[in-house]
Amino acid sequence: MFGLGTQELLIILVLVMIVFGAGKLPQVGGALGKGLRNFKKGVNEANEDIEEGHVEELSEENGNDKKNG
């Protein structure tokens, strides 16, 4: 995944349990999952907008205004 092995994942899990406690772990996991889901959704929507041409490129007028201003 990110070059993390089993030992690294276990260390991270233990640290998370120490910081948040075992009772809050499902809530932390759920919040992390929702965050990742929303991030992926935003990236996909941005890619779709770019492919459909809804995103306008910077015009030359904007660049000239900065040079002249």
Number of residues that this document lists for the chain? 69
Residues 12, 16: Cα–Cα separation, whole Å: 6
How far apart, in whole angstroms, are the C-alpha atoms of residue 54 and residue 45? Answer: 11
- Which ranges in the chain belong to alpha helices (H)? 6-20, 25-52, 60-68
Global pTM value: 0.52
State what percent of residues in the chain have pLDDT above 70. Answer: 74
pLDDT for res 22: 81
Q: What is the pLDDT of residues 39-57, one digit of tens each?
A: 999 999 988 888 877 766 6
**How many whole angstroms separate alpha carbon 9 and alpha carbon 63?**
48
**HSE-CB for 41 with a 13 A CA cutoff:** 6
